């Protein structure tokens, strides 16, 4: 189901799509590909929205930088120094997280209006990112398809093609609170990550290039434990890049029994404990689990490549599954 959700200052209409299946209801906006709400039942069968967001369009326009529920691109996470080189040419980007470029620049995919069309049990969002948008080379045709599976899992499948060599890294930036949005601190959730290594960062949150073992550190989530605070780090998933989505993480809320599993084709996952959220939420009120290629990969050739060339098809998929215990 599609409905009018609001109008931008330039007169562009924003629509909202509602998907419902197997007791799960998700609402997706054409603005920024935002997952506005995601309602799932608890162990008693009571449904609640488990992602942070706003009731109206104005909330997203007045709080753009936390990227609530948004589709992130053309490059998710940070690119050091706001520039990268490809095939001997350097491309300057907007240093919107100075000195780095973050989540696609000043007006990334999260601030664009996408064209939506229905598909079976879901909606496909499409747009063309023109050559040079936010400094990135190549005309990129990109789609993100949101579907609900028979068991109520939310699947987001991304595809892109380009007419010139470029870099691509897409993700969804939902903040999860399995006790319900607005219920308070999510630091008591229990997290398990299938990651034996992580990418340590410098003072600007840029990976140093090493892949450190999590054993004996606060980054070891191989056995489930409370998340706590103080994380904005990329974890190196043990499975690596895969052709189909494989389970990488599990988040559990003891108070409601809600359990979230994250399966992905991506080699990395950014754990962000939202320590810098402000009104109307507060630090720690949500946990972001951003499936991705590693931050700053265009400048670190030893990392899995994010280069996309003409004739190739970028594909990525992440599945958010829900259950109770």
Q: How many CB atoms lie within 10 A of CB 56?
A: 10
* Residue 290 designated active-site: yes
For 116, 123, 236, 238, the CA distances from 220, given in Å and listed in that order, are: 40, 37, 12, 13
- Does the annotation flag 278 for ligand binding? no
Q: Is residue 283 helix, strand or coil?
A: coil
- Does the annotation flag 253 for ligand binding? no
* Residue 173 designated active-site: yes
**Is residue 62 within 8 Å of residue 293, measured between CB atoms?**
no
Q: Which of 133, 134, 250, 290 is catalytic?
A: 290
| Beta-bridge partner residues of 115 | 126
Q: How many CB atoms lie within 10 A of CB 209?
A: 15
Q: Which of 173, 233, 285, 293 is catalytic?
A: 173
Please name the helix (run of DSSP H) or strand (run of DSSP E) that holds residue 57, with its range, or none.
Answer: helix 57-62
- Does the annotation flag 91 for ligand binding? no
- Report the distance separating Cα 225 and Cα 214, nearest Å: 14
Distance from the first to the final alpha carbon of the chain: 31
- Report the distance separating Cα 289 and Cα 266, nearest Å: 12
- Does the annotation flag 10 for ligand binding? no
- Does the annotation flag 27 for ligand binding? no
Q: Is residue 37 helix, strand or coil?
A: strand
DSSP state at residue 70:
P
Region of 176 on the Ramachandran plot (φ > 0 left; ψ -120 to 50 alpha; else beta): beta
- Does the annotation flag 232 for ligand binding? yes
Binding residues: 77-78, 173-175, 232
Binding residues for beta-D-galactose: 77-78, 173-175, 232
**Catalytic positions, written as ranges:** 173, 290
């Amino acid at each position: 189901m599609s409905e009018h959700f609001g109008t931008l200052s330039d007169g562009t209409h924003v629509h909202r799509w509602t998907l419902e299946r197997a007791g799960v209801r998700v609402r997706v906006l054409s603005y920024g590909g935002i997952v506005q709400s995601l309602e799932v039942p608890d162990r008693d069968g009571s449904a609640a929205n488990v992602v942070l967001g706003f009731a109206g369009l104005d909330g997203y326009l007045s709080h753009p930088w936390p990227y609530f529920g948004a589709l992130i691109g053309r490059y998710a996470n940070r690119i050091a120094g706001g520039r990268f080189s490809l095939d001997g040419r350097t491309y300057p980007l907007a240093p919107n997280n100075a000195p780095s470029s973050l989540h696609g620049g000043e007006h990334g995919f999260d601030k664009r209006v996408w064209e939506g069309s229905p598909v079976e049990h879901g909606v496909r969002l499409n747009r063309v990112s023109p050559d040079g948008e936010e400094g990135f080379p190549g005309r990129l045709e990109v789609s993100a398809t949101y579907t609900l599976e028979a068991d109520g899992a939310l699947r987001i499948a991304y595809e892109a093609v380009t007419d010139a060599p470029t870099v691509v890294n897409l993700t969804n930036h939902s903040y999860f609170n399995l006790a319900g949005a607005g219920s308070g601190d999510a630091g008591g959730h229990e997290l398990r990550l299938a990651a034996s290594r992580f990418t340590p960062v410098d003072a600007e949150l840029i990976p140093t290039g090493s892949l450190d073992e999590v054993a004996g550190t606060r980054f070891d989530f191989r056995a489930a434990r409370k998340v706590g605070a103080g994380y904005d780090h990329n974890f190196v998933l043990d499975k690596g890049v895969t052709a189909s989505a494989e389970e990488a993480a599990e988040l559990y809320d003891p108070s409601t029994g809600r359990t979230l599993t994250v399966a992905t084709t991506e080699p990395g996952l950014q754990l962000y404990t939202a320590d810098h959220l402000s009104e109307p939420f507060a630090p720690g009120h949500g946990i972001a689990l951003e499936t991705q290629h590693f931050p700053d990969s265009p400048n670190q050739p030893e990392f899995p490549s994010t280069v996309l060339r003409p004739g190739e098809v970028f594909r990525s998929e992440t599945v958010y599954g829900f259950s109770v215990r």
